[in-house]
Amino acid sequence: MKIYNSIIFLAAAAFCYFLSVLSTGCAQIGMPTGGPRDSTPPVLLDATPPNNTIHFKGKNIVLTFDEYVHLQDLQKNLLVAPEPKIIPNITSKLKTISIKIRDTLQPNTTYSFQFGNSIQDINENNPYHDFTYVLSTGSYIDSLTLNGNVIIAQTGKPDSTLIAMLYNNLGDSAVYKEKPRYVARLDSSGNFHFKNLASGTYHLFALKDESGQKMYNNPSQLFAFADSAIHIPEDKAPEKLYAYAEEISQKPVKSTPAPSKKGQEKVLKYTISAAGGTQDLLSPLTITFPVPLKTFDSTKIRLTDTLFHPVAATIFIDTNLSKVFVATNWQEDTQYDLIIEKDFATDTLGDALSKADTLRFKTKRSNEYGSIKLNFKNLDKFIHPVLQVVKDAKVVDSFKLTAPTFSKKLFEPGEYDLRILNDTNDNGTWDPGNYQLRKQPEIVTPIPKKLNIRADWDNEMDLIL
């Protein structure tokens, strides 16, 4: 019996050992998990014909890489300069990119195919940054360059979505009617770098080309131009181009009355800026209408104290007929009543108030604000400088600077960006350029330091311009 039990025990132990070996072996056969992510971009192994080929007469180009590749957002990334009338057909298959020329190329011309970040590996989409293939139909490769920088004039910041363009057609209307001879992208700092240029005289532009047409066909496009023609290789590009979008006057949108349900009363709708019944000391009270007004009578709005004594106020409407402002010298921590008569306004749908309305609100206390004192070094008063205070990319306040020191007793707490506007025409606001008049936009320069305002605090800062 003891012998029998020993045999059973040994058999069970052997079976368990067999299972453990089997499971270990299976684990070793499986694919490894984890490990570092592949971040290596594709590597070009071969180009047929080779990059920088001269006397090109063919129709097909094949690029071979060290791994499987695909084309991502090719239409958005690809720049061909000069651009043929018929864009080449570019496809990917396994480890190759094929370029099929579908147009007759110009003689004695250097062509560049700028792929941007469109060539990526299959597994991790690692891009081959700014790959460029160059060929020439002549006996040499053009090798001249031109560098420069583009800044958005209204903000003083770069925008890498713009492109720089060179035209060898020096006619004033060329930028409206035809595509450029050469195109270059902007990097994150707004810099452009033209390569493989032929010598000659060019006009230089920059454009936000959302349509892909590479022409200035809409005044709402961001656009920049150099003041004079550039002779390559003798000249350098201007230090900066300043891009702008022309202001377009917007007419009030006509509203079509919506059919009302039977028995439903049509009532004029609006909201006021005194959120939670609290009014800012620094701003007018704003009444906003979702539908523009058709009629408005400011005499039928009255501002009073709680005893219904009149308070002097200026009441006016904006140009879009959708906001009414009530401006006065607000007293801190004070209650006011705004009395609105029934027939003070109707909107374009014909809606009016069903009865008079009284709005009661209270102003903030002065200790809810901070004071500021800014000391400017190297302030140039001859450029008519205007201090712009910016929050969430929007100018919330602006002040003409007439002295090196600027102070304000009450300022809304928060963090702000500061900019200096070169107000050339001294009208207090930024003005765009106009290419037809050869008028450059006014320039805005950001100040690196942020302005942090603490409530009930004297905030002082030194700024070097």
The pLDDT score that the predictor gives to residue 181 is 97
Model confidence pLDDT, tens digit, residues 309-346: 999 999 999 999 999 999 999 999 999 999 999 999 99
The pLDDT score that the predictor gives to residue 203 is 97
Lowest mean pLDDT among 24-33, 70-79, 172-181, 300-309: 24-33
Q: What percent of the chain is predicted at pLDDT more than 90?
A: 82
Contacts of 441 (CB under 8 A, 6+ apart): 153, 154, 242, 243, 244, 430, 431, 432, 433
Q: Which residues pair with 147 in a beta bridge?
A: 193
The pLDDT score that the predictor gives to residue 156 is 96
Global pTM exceeds 0.85: no
Does residue 177 have a pLDDT over 70? Answer: yes
Model confidence pLDDT, tens digit, residues 127-139: 999 999 999 999 9
Does residue 187 have a pLDDT over 90? Answer: yes
The pLDDT score that the predictor gives to residue 6 is 46
Q: Which residues pair with 197 in a beta bridge?
A: 144
* Phi, then psi, of 149 in degrees rounded to 5: -145, 145
282-287 long-range Cβ contacts below 8 angstroms, 24+ apart: 282/369, 282/410, 282/411, 282/412, 284/325, 284/326, 284/327, 284/328, 285/325, 285/326, 285/327, 285/338, 285/361, 286/323, 286/324, 286/325, 286/326, 287/323, 287/324, 287/325, 287/326
Q: What is the 3-state secondary structure (H, E, C) of the chain?
A: CHHHHHHHHHHHHHHHHHHHHHHHHHHHHCCCCCCCCCCCCCCEEEEECCCCECCCCCCEEEEEECCCEEECCHHHHCEEECCCCCCCEEEEECCEEEEECCCCCCCCCEEEEECCCCEEECCCCCECCCCEEEEECCCCCCCEEEEEEEEECCCCCCCCCCEEEEECCCCCCHHHHCCCCEEEEECCCCEEEEEEECCEEEEEEEECCCCCCCCCCCCCCCEEECCCCEEECCCCCCCCEEEECCCCCCCCCCCCCCCCCCCCCCECCCEECCHHHEECCCCCEEEECCCCEEEECHHHEEEECCCCCECCCEEEECCCCCEEEEECCCCCCCEEEEEECCCCEEECCCCECCCCEEEEEEECCHHHCEEEEEEEECCCHHHCEEEEEEECCEEEEEEECCCCEEEEEEECCEEEEEEEEECCCCCCCCCCCECCCCECCCCEEEEEEEEEECCCCEEEEEEEC
As annotated, the residues of the chain forming the CATH 2.60.40.10 domain(s) are: 368-464
HSE-CB of 98 using CA atoms within 13 angstroms = 9
Residue whose entry in the numeric block shows the structure tokens 């020191």:
405
CA 375 from chain centre, in angstroms, equals 31
Q: What average pLDDT score do residues 132-153 get? A: 97
Does residue 292 have a pLDDT over 80? Answer: yes
Find out whether 461 and 173 touch, Cβ atoms under 8 Å: no
Model confidence pLDDT, tens digit, residues 5-17: 444 444 444 444 4
Binning pLDDT at 50, 70 and 90, where does residue 238 land? confident
The pLDDT score that the predictor gives to residue 38 is 75
Find out whether 425 and 386 touch, Cβ atoms under 8 Å: no
CA nearest neighbour of 232 among 197, 187, 283 = 197
Tokens of 264: 């439903």
Fold classified for 368-464 = Immunoglobulin-like (2.60.40)
Kindly report the average pLDDT of the chain as a whole number: 89
Domain 44-136: give its CATH code.
2.60.40.1220
Fold classified for 144-243 = Immunoglobulin-like (2.60.40)
Model confidence pLDDT, tens digit, residues 383-435: 999 999 999 999 999 999 999 999 999 999 999 999 999 999 999 999 999 99
CA nearest neighbour of 223 among 435, 10, 35 = 435
* Phi, then psi, of 453 in degrees rounded to 5: -105, 125
Does residue 34 have a pLDDT over 70? Answer: no
CA distances (Å), origin 267, targets 253, 321, 350: 20, 18, 9
Q: How far is it, in rounded angstroms, from Cα 27 to Cα 30?
A: 5
Q: What average pLDDT score do residues 157-186 get? A: 96
Q: How far is it, in rounded angstroms, from Cα 286 to Cα 327?
A: 9
As annotated, the residues of the chain forming the CATH 2.60.40.3710 domain(s) are: 271-364
* Phi, then psi, of 241 in degrees rounded to 5: -105, 145
* Phi, then psi, of 201 in degrees rounded to 5: -110, 130
As annotated, the residues of the chain forming the CATH 2.60.40.1220 domain(s) are: 44-136
As annotated, the residues of the chain forming the CATH 2.60.40.1120 domain(s) are: 144-243
Model confidence pLDDT, tens digit, residues 56-70: 999 999 999 999 999
With 0-12 CB in 10 A as exposed, 13-18 as middle and 19+ as buried, what is 317?
A: middle
What architecture (CATH level 2) is domain 271-364?
Sandwich (2.60)
Q: Which of residues 260 and 422 earns the better pLDDT score?
A: 422
Q: How far is it, in rounded angstroms, from Cα 243 to Cα 440?
A: 9
The pLDDT score that the predictor gives to residue 23 is 45
Binning pLDDT at 50, 70 and 90, where does residue 235 land? confident
Q: How far is it, in rounded angstroms, from Cα 234 to Cα 204?
A: 15
Find out whether 322 and 293 touch, Cβ atoms under 8 Å: yes
The pLDDT score that the predictor gives to residue 248 is 58
Q: Which of residues 7 and 221 earns the better pLDDT score?
A: 221
Q: Which residues pair with 267 in a beta bridge?
A: 352
